[in-house]
Structure formats: C-alpha cells, structure tokens
Amino acid sequence: MNTDFEPVIGLEVHVQLNTKTKIFCGCSTKFGLLPNTSICPVCLGYPGVLPVMNEEVVRSAVKVCLMMDFMINTYSRMDRKNYFYPDLPKGYQISQFDNPIGVKGKLSIDTDEGKKEIGITRIHIEEDAGKLIHGDGVSYVDFNRTGVPLLEIVSEPDIRSSKEAYLYLKKLKQILEYTKISDCNMEEGSLRCDANVSIRPKGQAQFGTKTEIKNLNSFKFVQKALDYEIERQMNVLKEGGTISQETRLFDSGTGKTKTMRSKEEAHDYHYFPEPDLLPIMVSEGMIKEATFSLPEKPDDKCARFEKQYGLPAYDASVLTADPSTADYYEECAKFCSNYKMISNWMMGEWLRELNERSVSAVDSPVLAKDLAGLLNMIENGKISGKIAKEIFPEMVKTGKTAEQIVQEKGLTVISDTGAIETMIKEVLGKNEKSVQDYKNGKKGVLGFLIGQVMKASKGKADPKKVNELMEKILS
C-alpha cells in the first residue's frame, strides 16, 4: 500500500428493529413467512390510507440514542424520500431528512494504538422497502419486508482503515445486541452496511471524491471491499486519473467492486415533510423510562468483570462480547467460586462446543449451573481436570450432569487410604526387585512403582495420595 495516501471512511448501517409489527400498520414483521402474506393496504401504499407511527419504534430509537451518547431531538419529523423502484409500492419511502431523532453520537473502538473515538453524525427512523428476488429470467417481489422499521446510523468520516471499519461495526453490533432492539442477524438482513470511502494525500485536510459501496452483508466483506476500493482509487490517482462519485457494488465472489450507478444527490429525492404523520415528540418521561430500562454498557460490564471476578482484561472482553455469554458466565459464578477456572473452561471447551453447533450462549447445550457443577467436582478433588474434559462432551451429548455421568461410569477419584494401600501392597508384591533396588538407594524406581499403582487404578487413584502412602510404606 502506498503510504502517501490515507483512506477516509464513513459507514451507514441499517438495523432492522425487532418490533412485533411494522412501523405504520399492524402487519407482522416475522422473518420467513410466505411471500406477500404479511401485507395490508397501508404498507402496500393504497391511495387514501393513513400510516400511524408504532410507538415501540420511537422507544427503541431513544434507547439506542442513550447507549451511544446521541443528542436526542425532542422534536423530529418524518419526511418523504421520493424515488421509483419496483420494491417500493408507494413511490416514496418514509424516512427522516433534516430532523433526525438523534445527532452527534459516538462510540469507541480498541485499536492497536489504543482507544479511538468514532463520531456518529446521525441516527434516523425509516421504513424498509420490499425484496426483489431474481431468477430464471423472471423477477419476483415480496412486500412482507415493506414497512418493517429500520434505524439508519451514519458515522462521521472518522475511520482511517478497513480494520477500523471492522472494529466499528463489531462494536456497533455489540451495543445493539446489548440494547436488545434487533436480532442483528446479518444472514437475514437485520444488519446491513454501506461504506463511503475516499482517499487523500496524508496531511491534506480536504476530502477526496468518495464512492459508496453497497451490498455488504458481512463485516469481513466490508473489510475486503474497502481494501479493494482503497487500492483501486490509489491506482487511479497514481495514473493521473480522477475518481468519479458513484455507487459501486461489491462482488464477494471476485472480491472486487464495480460501478452500479452514478451517485444521486439528496435533492434528487425531493424530500418533503410527510403530511400524513404528526411530528415525533420525545417527552422527558419517555427518556427517563428508556434510561431506566437500559442495560449495562458493554465497556462497563467488561471493566466490572475484571474487577469483580479478578479476570485478565482479555478474558473479560471475550466473556462480555455478547450479553448472553456474559449472563452465562455470571450464572456459573453464582455456583462456582473459582472464577478464573470458569473463564478458562468457557473460552476453551464451552466455546468450542457452541461454535461447532453454531449456537449462541442462550442455546448452550449445557446449563450454566451444570458447568459450574463439573468445575466444582474438580475443585473438590472428586475428579481430575483430565477426566472432566472427557465428561464435558458427554454432558453436551446427553444433557446429564457431571455428577450423574461420574456415578454411572465410576469415574470418581479414589482417595480412600485403605483402598490405595491395598493397591500399593499388591504392586510392591509383584515388583520385589524394584523394592529391593529402592531400599539399596535407587530412588529413581519410585516413579515406576507409582506409575504401576496408577495403572492398576485405571488412572483414578489420587496421585498425591499414592505418592505419600508409597513413600510411607517403603520407608
């Protein structure tokens, strides 16, 4: 990469809210219904119908505003954004233009150089369009998604690399997941991202001409598309060309971006205030209520985990990455006081099992208190860590507790003095030569004799106790 240039990146994220019904009518927002079965005259834009704002949408927007330190506009307004597209039956989208619900938010990301604050220009409420499905020379349109509520979150052009863009999106998703206003499922399109990128000579204050990249449905694709686009723009400039302001599509197959259309300007949409809806007034009561219902912020939770459970910063950040993992950890910690051991197990065996099943902590096949039960058995010397690792997959498979499995399989550590003494005497009886060697000063055979006892117990004898008793008996 040519270091004389620096990229300037801004991101626009669309978040689908998880309200039960659409933004202006009572149709269900459920994903995966048969096409065109969750529609009505309002969301299909029949003449003469009147939209009514879903209050839950405003509540969700206020919560997100509070989580990311936005200034909330207590008076905001919906506007019409006019354009024609087959998935937009009204011929306009109801959105917010110059009076969005929130402005001047921020979030911080952890870069290799430390914390960096990324400004967020605005957050606004709007409705989603329908979905076009193309195939076999025919195109279909599904209006189920028409009128599903969205929040659009537009960052300042504060991002300087594709890595920072990735970190910003991860952090944004984390905050939205904590706020529980969206399922943030990228495969189902609940979280979508467009990226604006330009480059400029390092040290220059003025921005270069930017392009907008659409069709980015994973954070990895955002990073790849930006890397490609930054390189492309640099090559154009180095060859003496100019960048044209345009919208480009990212093709995940080739890893390249290509021209989609020249970029439209705001005035192309002929925005005007939506005459069928009242302005949105956010009352103090509403803000208070939302504040009261807010979750602990992810950064605060991470700091608390370090302090309260004495965990290293790395562990705390992994365990608080999403709210359900954090809840699972705290549930375990209620039953088991070896906090670091819980962390080790969750980051190791537990996460591996979840990843293999592609499920989140909410659907963990092992209950938090059962994992704690397993760990307590190690703590109390009832089983060894090695045996525990064999038991855990069994717990995942059968749903049984560690205690049950240990009993059924007879895996408990043998720590009974009498039983161990009997085993030792038996081993010594069979190895008289080694015993003689030991008595003649060849202390090295002790390890061999202990090994024989462990073998006889099928690895279940408490090794510390075998050691102690062996030395006692031999002397």
Residues that bind Zn ion (CB under 5 A): 25, 27, 40, 42-43
Three-state DSSP class for residue 12: strand
Q: Which is nearer to Zn ion, 54 or 73 (CB)?
A: 54
Provide CB contacts within 8 A for 264, sequence distance 6+.
none
Closest CB to Zn ion among residues 146, 179: 146
3-state secondary structure at position 165: helix
Measured from the CB atom, the residue of 47 and 410 that comes closer to Zn ion is: 47
Residue 42 C-beta: closest distance to Zn ion, Å:
5
Q: Which run of H or of E encompasses 114?
A: strand 114-127
Taking the complex as a whole, how short is the minimal distance between the CB of residue 22 and Zn ion, in angstroms?
A: 5
Minimum Å distance from CB 147 to Zn ion? Answer: 6
We find the least distance from the C-beta atom of residue 33 to Zn ion, in angstroms, to be 12
**CA-based end-to-end distance of the chain:** 72
Q: Tell me the C-alpha distance between 44 and 90, whole Å.
A: 7
CA 91 to chain centroid: 35
d(CA 301, CA 316): 8
Instruction: Give 141 or 474: the residue with its C-beta nearer to Zn ion.
Output: 141
Q: Which is nearer to Zn ion, 127 or 164 (CB)?
A: 127
Q: Kindly state the smallest distance separating residue 176's Cβ from Zn ion, in Å.
A: 25
Judged by beta carbon, residue 54 or residue 401, the one nearer Zn ion is 54
Amino acid in the structure at residue 133? I
Nearer to Zn ion, 43 or 366 (CB): 43
| Minimal distance, residue 16 CB to Zn ion, in Å | 16
Token representation of residue 287:
């803000």
Residue 301 tokens, joined? 């939770």
CB 50 → Zn ion: shortest distance, Å? 12
Q: What's the CA gap between 282 and 208, in Å, rounded?
A: 38
In the numeric block, which tokens belong to residue 365? Answer: 């096949």
Report d(CA 425, CA 430) in Å as an integer. 9
Half-sphere exposure of 34 (CA within 13 A, CB side): 1
